[in-house]
Each structure stands twice: as structure tokens, then as C-alpha cells.
Amino acid sequence: MVYNFSAGPGVLPEPVLREVQAEFHSYKQGVSIVEMSHRSETFATIVEQLEMRLRRLMHIPDDYAVLFLQGGATLQFSMVPMNLRATGRFAYLDSGIWSKKAIADAKHFGNVIVVGSSASSNYGTIPEWPEHIQDVDYLHVTLNNTIEGTRYTKLPDTGVPLVADVSSNILAEAIDVKRYGLLYAGAQKNIGPAGLTLVIIRRDLIVDRDLPSYLAYSKHVDTLLNTPSTFSLYVAERVLAWVEGEGGVEAMERRNVEKSGLLYDALDASPLFHAVVSGKQRSLTNIPFTTGDAETDRAFQRFAEARGLIELGGHRSVGGLRASLYNAMPLEGVTRLIDVMHEFEQEGQDVSYKNV
């Protein structure tokens, strides 16, 4: 049994993978899903179902549009400022490496005001919400910092539209959609395969700004502008059906609290490992940890890999170790990881393991 702790593309539900495998060669009309026109009735039904499921799961009100795009969360770093640009002044919270990249891209389209930053502490914490904010088109926040393992839990009342990157916490914890102007997420963690990006946007924020067609939100509302990533949309629909069947986002959040709690408790009690983040800012989905020694971290990664626990390396920019516990990671994966950590504490520090 292999447990995949990758931060993304991440683990998908086992029953969904089996269903996709069974249907792959011939889906309904005797052709594979990846051979089917995105304009066919069969495919249109899949997209409709996907949107309905997402709306039910996230309680998305009717005055929000749901867009299925490509280009990853990274393209949203540009599409957000391009499309929401009115005054050309944008506020950003600089809480991690992904928000730093979002800031860098937004600078191409206007004046970025960084209203809080934890860069000086290497993003070990998250900056506070700003107290007063006005005269900007929006305030951008990365709700869950995938690399650093921190997250925001409380939301302020901002007088400006709140834009959030929810790539690594969408469907993993409750998100109160109506508090936001726009939410975006790459699909490849909790939703499905890579190649699909979700944008949930309050309709009054969709304004025609004379942009090239693909880059304008207005061109994607209630329609498929061009050929989407059909396979990703199809798998995403199946994953959302699985989430609904398992009890919805509330059930996912309960499980994620339990799974991450077990791992944080084990890390807090460990004589060798420790969690990088402390206190309330700890992410439910991405848990960076370390022994404090790069070589021992690498040795543990190899030790764990040999026992079927894969992708435990930290992001290439920060190193260390990281366990991503997305919705499809079963509780057994976490208990197995904790057991293997204990095993390594007992015997793994023997120098011979460093050469495995």
C-alpha cells in the first residue's frame, strides 16, 4: 500500500480512480471521454453536474458565476488584476511564496500595495489583516499557504472585495463564499487532475475591459469559450460526487481536523521531529516538519519511501519535510506515517540509513 503525501498534483480518492479506469475506454456513447466533443450533450451534462455539485458543496449563491479555466492558479495571478482593475490600485497580503508570486504578476497591471507581510520571518507566520483599507480595487489573500503550512481562519470586514487563492484548501474546509468577491484554485489538490482552474466570482465584478478573449472573465460566464481540459473536468465531477457521498465539505473538514491533529500531536511529542508552524496558524492540509538537520530529513524521506510513504519532501524552495493531507488521504495514511516516524526515531538515526 502506497500513501501519497504530494502537495499537488495530490492524492485522489481510490474509488474515483477505479471508476475512471473502468470508464476510460468507452464512456456511454462507446467512445472514450477524451475523444468526445466538449460541445456534445453528454459532455455538457458532465459540466452542468460539476457546477451543480460545486454550488451545493460550497453553498455558492446564484449571484456568483463559476468559471472553468486553464492556466493554473498562476494565470489567475494576472487575470485577477486585469479583470478587476478600476482604479489600478491593488492591496495584497504577502503571506508566503505563492502570494509573493501573485504580487509580482499583479505589478504588471497596476500599483500593488502590500498591506501586510511576513517575508522578513521567512513566512513562518502570516501577517495580520489590515485595519482600514480603501481606494483599492480588491484585497488579495492566499488563505492557505501550501509551502509554509500556515492558514487564515478569521476574515475581516473589508470595505473592498476580497480575493482569495484557495488552491490548497478548497473543499478541505468550509469557506464562506459570500464574504468574497472572487475565489480561485488550481484543481490538482482537492478537486481532480491538473489542467483545470476554478474561478468563483460575484457577477457584479465581471466587467468588460477590452481584454483578449481568453483573459476576460466575461467571455467565460455560463459558457465554454474554447476547448477545456475535458478529462480534468470529467474526473473533477466524479471527485465532487465522491465528496458529496462522503458527507460534503463539513465531513471533509472534520476528517482533516482529525488527521492533521493526530500528526501535529505526534510532532509536538516527538523527540526528533518538530512541526515548522505553531499555534492557530497551522494548516489543515499542508504540514511542514523537520528534524532540524537537512541530512536527517533526507534520510527520513528515503526511510519512509522504502515503506510506501511517498512525496514527503518539502517544497524545493524551502527543503525539509512536508505531509499534505488532502481530502483523499485516508486516516490510515496518517497513522502509518506516525508509526514510521516512531520507527525512525528508534532505529533510523543509525548512520546506515543515511545511505539507504
Distance in angstroms (rounded) separating the CA atoms of residues 284 and 123: 17
Q: How far is the CB of 251 from ligand PMP (least distance, A)?
A: 23
- 6 near ligand PMP (CB under 6 A): no
Least separation in angstroms between CB 246 and ligand PMP: 23
Please give the residues from 97 up to 136 whose contact with ligand PMP meets the rule CB under 6 A: 98
Judged by CB, which is closer to ligand PMP: 67, or 340? Answer: 67
Q: Does 313 bind ligand PMP (CB under 6 A)?
A: no
Dist CA 158 CA 180 (whole Å): 10
Report the residue from 167, 230, 281, 283 that binds ligand PMP according to the rule CB under 6 A.
Answer: 167
- Options 137, 165, 242, 259, the catalytic residue: 165
Cell numbers that stand for 258 in this block:
482529525
72 binds ligand PMP (CB under 6 A): yes
Q: What angle do CA 89, 94, 99 make, to 5 degrees?
A: 90
Near ligand PMP by CB under 6 A: residue from 83, 118, 150, 168: 168
242 is catalytic: no
Among 74, 78, 125, 349, binds ligand PMP (CB under 6 A): 74
Phi, psi of 326 (to 5 degrees): -75, 175
* Closer to ligand PMP by Cβ: residue 232 or 290: 232
Residue labelled with grid coordinates 475565489: 183
Where are any strands of DSSP class E within the chain?
A: 3-4, 64-69, 89-94, 111-117, 139-142, 144-145, 150-151, 162-165, 182-186, 197-202, 274-275, 286-290, 309-310, 321-324
Q: What is the CA radius of gyration of the chain?
A: 21
Position with the least CB separation from ligand PMP: 72
Least gap, CB of 76 to ligand PMP (angstroms): 8
From residue 136 to residue 155, the character string flagging contacts with ligand PMP as x (rule: CB under 6 A) and all else as - is ------x---x---------
Is 28 noted as a catalytic residue in this protein?
no
Collect all residues with Cβ–Cβ distance below 8 Å to 178 and sequence separation of at least 6. 61
Measured CA to CA, the distance from residue 221 to residue 270 in angstroms comes to 50
C-alpha cell at 219: 467571455
Q: Is 4 in the site for ligand PMP (CB under 6 A)?
A: no
CB of 187 to ligand PMP, least distance (A): 8
Say how many C-beta atoms besides its own lie within 10 A of residue 269's C-beta. 10
Q: Binding residues for ligand PMP, per CB under 6 A?
A: 8, 72-74, 98, 142, 146, 165, 167-168, 186
Catalytic annotation, residues:
98, 165, 189
